[in-house]
Amino acid sequence: MSLSIGIVGLPNVGKSTLFNALTKAQNAESANYAFCTIEPNKAVVPVPDPRIEVLAELVKPQRVQYSTVDFVDIAGLVAGASKGEGLGNKFLGNIRETQAILHVVRCFDNDDVIHVANSVDPLRDIEVIETELILADVQVLENRLERMEKMVKGDKTLAPKIEAAKALLAHLDQGQPAATFTEERKGLAELLAELRLITAKNVIYCANVDEDGLMEDNDYVQSVRKLAAERGAEFVKISAKMEEELVGLEEEEQQEFLESFGIEESGLHQIIRTGFHSLGLISYFTAGVKEVRAWTIHQGDKAPQAAGVIHTDFERGFIRAEVISYDHYVQYGSEAKCRAEGVLRVEGKDYVMHDGDVAHFLFNV
């Protein structure tokens, strides 16, 4: 399982520049004009995790495999996109496939960088994008509702789902995202799972600033930060241009560059960490001479579910798990020493996995 994040925002707010930096590959064309991105760009990015490197030093495996994040750079949307304006709603389907949305907002003034609305106003820009996403969800829900109403005569079990769809549609028609619909309705969970509504996804608001904005929050950043807090959403502040400049630098040089701006971690690290947190994701490890690897699971997953991430047979034939905490593994230096010291635990089907667990699963199919 990997985290999938769709990058959205108005044209020319820095999405492609950020994408270039995040993926460390200049494969998303970046230019100073609207609609320079005309196809969704996708990339698989390793999740930075120093624990993997420590385990690899101890185990000396043949290969190391990090957890990954799929980044999808969606072409710039404009007002009317849901009805075909600009590049139309062609790309909205790509957002439905992601787990979270990174909403990039321009938060800096620069006369040399054009804005599609000829002025910088983060809250207005956010409203434009969110309105289009809501309208796109309305279209999807209306189409599904129409089909269900035709089928309900032959399938009475659809009645609760139809009522749930109508209530949700009324909510969307009021300009409210699906994520804020709190009514308990029978059939709603199944409906949302089927439709994968865009506005039901977790949103990370990303304020894109210039170098001055990194040192101190400007009024634009403060307004976005406040909006995110009011909505209970995640927030990150990055400089896409600076992140792009980090590409190609050695790790030590990158750290020195960041520290010169009073920053502890890069935008990549911030976004991934925030994405993991917003979706309740954690990592556990497998460590052997062939491979040291990180696996992504949901917080609260039990051992069989974690095993199933490796292979469905592991979950289906789960017998038990041998688990060592990361701290104990580092303390004693090997699985054998952990076993000898009694810190290797044998856990059953009800064991809830913890972030950083080093695990080995026994199964029989």
Three-state SS for 183?
A: coil
The Cβ of residue 153 has, within 10 Å, a number of other Cβ atoms equal to 8
Closest CA to 237 of 208, 261, 259, 260: 208
Compute the distance between CA of residue 238 and CA of residue 217 in angstroms, rounded to an integer. 11
Angle between helix axes 159-173 and 188-195 (nearest 10 degrees) is 70
Task: Pick out the residues of the known binding site for ATP.
Answer: 12-17
Compute the distance between CA of residue 336 and CA of residue 274 in angstroms, rounded to an integer. 35
Give me the residues paired with residue 322 across strands.
Answer: 346, 360
Query: What element of type H or E holds 321?
Result: strand 318-324
Compute the distance between CA of residue 72 and CA of residue 36 in angstroms, rounded to an integer. 15
Tokens of 319: 């017998």
Compute the distance between CA of residue 102 and CA of residue 205 in angstroms, rounded to an integer. 6
Task: Pick out the residues of the known binding site.
Answer: 12-17
Three-state SS for 218?
A: coil
Tokens of 83: 């009805």
Name the E strands within 10-143.
41-46, 63-65, 68-73, 100-106
